[in-house]
Amino acid sequence: MTNVALLDQAIGHGLMIHTTGESLIVQPASRCPPEFAEALRQHKRQLLALLRHDFLFVHSAALNETVYFASDQQAHAALVAAGAEPGCIYTRNELRELVELNRREPITAGELLRLHRAKRIFNGRIADGQARSS
């Protein structure tokens, strides 16, 4: 199981996971099944390293999959190392570009889906001024 899959499972169990120094804090501990607690213990070192980065992940109904928002390239690299598919990770700069494009002309759900699929297929990124073709 990948580290991002473990974090996703934690949400499914209603858990919050964060770090304090070299400790992995799971709250509320009463909701953590013993077998899941063991999986977290086995991946503790990798989870601690991953959780030192700023990122967010959400399940997108429009894209029908989990996407990750990384604060910078280091967070992007950490997410990839933790098992996230590179084409599903959007950096802060990519999000800024999408917001700017949407301000100029609203992006439809269909356009967003096509853009996301292309990003995944080509393991690409959204460059300044390149997200919408004519």
Would you state the pLDDT for residue 129?
Answer: 66
Would you state the pLDDT for residue 134?
Answer: 43
Distance CA 65, CA 8 (A): 12
> Quick count: other Cβ atoms within 10 Å of Cβ 10?
19
Would you state the pLDDT for residue 106?
Answer: 95
Domain definitions of the chain by residue range: 1-52, 54-134
Distance CA 81, CA 12 (A): 22
> Quick count: other Cβ atoms within 10 Å of Cβ 107?
16
Would you write out the chain's pLDDT as a tens digit for each of its 134 residues? 899 999 999 999 999 999 999 999 999 999 999 999 999 999 999 999 999 999 999 999 889 899 999 999 999 999 999 999 999 999 999 999 999 999 999 999 999 999 999 999 998 888 876 555 44
10 close to 29: Cβ distance less than 8 angstroms: no
Say what the pTM is. 0.86
Q: Sort 19 into a burial class: Cβ within 10 Å, 0-12 / 13-18 / 19+.
A: middle
1-52: CATH number: 1.10.10
52 close to 23: Cβ distance less than 8 angstroms: no
